[in-house]
Structure formats: C-alpha cells, structure tokens
Amino acid sequence: MTDSGYPSAHPAPPGCPAHADAVRLGGLEYQQTPSQLYRSLRRDYGPVAPVLLDGDIPAWLVLGYSEVTYVTSHDDLFARDSRRWNQWENIPGDWPLLPYVGYQPSVLFTEGEEHRQRAGVITQALEGVDQFELSYDCREIADDLIARFAGSGQAELMAEFAHALPMRAAVQMCGMPTSGDDTRQLVDDLRASLDAGEGDDPVAAYGRVGERLRQLVKDKRAAPGPDVTSRMLTDQAGLTDEEIVQDLISVIAAAQQPTANWICNTLRLLLTDERFAVNVSGGRLSVGEALNEVLWLDTPTQNFIGRWAARDVQLGGRQIKAGDCLVLGLAAANTDPQIWPEGHVGAENAAHLSFSNGEHRCPYPAPLLADVMARTAVETLLERLPDLVLAVEPEELSWRPSIWMRGLTALPVRFTPVMQ
C-alpha cells in the first residue's frame, strides 16, 4: 500500500516493461475520494501514469491539465480510431469496456475530414433545438416528476428525478416517446453500458440501445418531424442509417448519464456545503456557480477512454509507443496543482476540461443544452420544494465505484409534503 492508503503498483502483463509498476484502476478506492488517488498517482508518476484496466490491460492515464490539452489538440499524434490499439489480441469478447473501445462507425472513432463532417451533422441538428423551448420542456418534465413524490415528504432523487429528467428531455429532442417501457428500458441499458453494476451485461445492454435507435431511425425515415433525428437524416451530408444510429447513441448517452450525475452532484453540493446555507433557497451562492464548481471538482465524466498513439511519442516524460491507449483523466486535469498551485479550483471560470477539448470535444451546442437541462432541473426542484434537506448525514452518501462516471448511488431527501 502507498502512504495514501491506496493500492501500490501491480505487476504488468509479460512483455510490458513500461507498465512494470502500473496501478490497477478500479475498485473501492475510487468510490468516495478518487481525487486522493489522482494526487497519489501524480506524486508517484508525474502527469502521465502507467495503469492497468479491467483484465490487467495496460494503458496510460493522463493526469496533467497541460498534457490532456496537448493530447486532445494533436489528433495527428493521439488519434481516436481504436483499431490502432496494440492490445487487441489480449481483449476478450466479453470485456466490460468493449462497447466503448471496439471500433464502430460512430463519430467518436472518426478522424480528419470524416470526423469534421459527422460532427458537423450533429452540430447542425442540435442547433435546431430551441433553448427556450428546451427549458420549458425540462420544467414540465421536472414538474411531472416532482408531482409523483411531492406529497410524500421524501424522495430518492437519483432514481426519481436526476436520471429520469435528462433522459426524457433527450429522447424528446430526438423524436422518441417520453414515457413507456421502451424509454425505461433505454435508461436502464444506457446506465448498464456506461457504468455496469453487479449482474449487468454492458455488451448486451449496448446492443439493445442500438436496436431501439435503429427502429427510431426507420420510423423517422418514414415520417420525419421537428427533431434531432430527422434533421440528421435530411442533412446534405447524406449519412447512412447505421452512421446516424451510432451517432445518436453518442448524443443520447452524453445527454443522459453525465447530465444526470451533474444534476445530482450539484444538488449534493447545495445540500452539504455551508456556503450555500443549510436551506438552499437562502444560499449565498447561485445555482449557476454550484453547477460550474461541480464541473471542476466532481465532474460527471471522470475519465474518458481514449486516444491511441499514432506513432512513438514522448508525453509528460513518458515514452508512449505506437498503438498505446491513453485514458484522458479529465477530473485529475481539472484539479492539477500546476494550474491551481494553492489548491484553489477556479469555480468562477469555465476553463475546465469536463467537455474535453479539441476537435473531439463535446460538439457545440451540446454543452449549452446540457446546462439548460441541469440548471432547469435544479432550479425547478428548489422552487417546488424550498425546504429540501438531506435525509441522511452527508458522510453516509456513497458514490458508484466507477472509474469513468462520478455519481451517487442514491440521494435521499426529505421536505414538507406538498399537496397537489
């Protein structure tokens, strides 16, 4: 064990001298305070650390703000096409991360001009979303969800509010029904594929998401409407149905799980930090400041896999070999002491890397739409339930043991019952 209390190095796979002292990612050490692990890795290895993924597959975790920015700004050196990976012969067919590293005809894996075209289609489709209308829709969704538990005086906000709202908003933007078994199954499958729990099959869950969206694309081919899917289908780029399905998976997954955790992490901050006062309606800092601070300190996407080295290259004092996998440590980069030497994180500005950076960052205007969803969700909840408080002690809250997503397992609250 290191002096931080976290596991020290684990043996690397044979023939991998660069990973002889690698640290295995995953497990309970990530559950409550991953920032401590990032500090430990940075102290022991510098801005780029050798790590082991599930099944002891070697990779590099990029911890430094400058290094993450460099990687994401140099697609010629650190590319997105995962077929470059030099570890494919060691990857089993049921590997948990396979849905997100196995090459697919998705915008996530395209490069160069193809990527610019695919990302442009998404941008054009999302620019057609009226942000005022989206805010109105989110408020209606929030009102409906709150009405279901307002009379009880208690709720578990992760399941009953934070997860449901961005999913309903996202599928509505894409032209799907906002209720019913299909939508509930889609929520469950997205969660399982992004952040698998015990008993989940992430590969099968990802497959079901794809099948549901193939049906949506088929339906919109026959009867287009004023929605994101229809705008993608009619874009002059002329993408194939399968390309659109894969890109819709990226759009909906990015809108739902990260935004849900952004909402819940912000509510946790508002309910536990004295700067916002015990009663959040009387807090001294705004909801907007809380939302931004969460992106610095508890960003929903902690780590992103990944980039693959196009050739041998030096990064952060490490020799990266062609085909090596690099995991972008977005959360670690946001708290890099090289940019915040006094331990103070700049919650008042938006220079964080929570939406990544470079050509492969979250496409405009997706971050703005996510902000509309999250801000409307939090503000509506606090307006409807102004005396909202935690139903447990803050230290009793637990985080999902995921190295990828940062989110609570549950957020139980109580409040004065509101009769509808």
Give pLDDT tens digits for 45-54.
999 999 999 9
pTM: 0.89
CATH topology of domain 17-414: Cytochrome p450 (1.10.630)
Residue 316 has pLDDT above 60, yes or no: yes
Report which of residues 117 and 194 the model is more confident about: 117
Report which of residues 42 and 4 the model is more confident about: 42
Amino acid identity of residue 343, one-letter, is G
d(CA 7, CA 386): 43
Helix (H) or strand (E) holding 82: none
Task: Look at residue 11 in the predicted model and tell me its pLDDT.
Answer: 42
Q: 236, 235, 260, 261: which is closest to 248 by C-alpha?
A: 235
Residue 63 has pLDDT above 80, yes or no: yes
Question: 2-16, 156-170, 315-329 — which is least confidently predicted?
Answer: 2-16
Phi, psi (deg, nearest 5) at residue 313: -155, 155
What are the Cα distances from residue 101, in Å, to 51, 194, 208, 313?
16, 12, 17, 21
Parallel, antiparallel, or unpaired for β 313-315 and 154-156?
Answer: unpaired
Task: Look at residue 224 in the predicted model and tell me its pLDDT.
Answer: 95
Residue ranges per structural domain of the chain: 17-414
Please give the average per-residue pLDDT across 104-124, as a whole number. Answer: 94
- Where are any strands of DSSP class E within 147-241? 154-156
Please give the average per-residue pLDDT across 103-131, as a whole number. Answer: 95
Task: Look at residue 184 in the predicted model and tell me its pLDDT.
Answer: 73
- Those residues whose C-beta lies under 8 Å from the C-beta of residue 267, and which sit 6 or more positions away, are 157, 162, 378, 381, 411
Task: Look at residue 105 in the predicted model and tell me its pLDDT.
Answer: 87
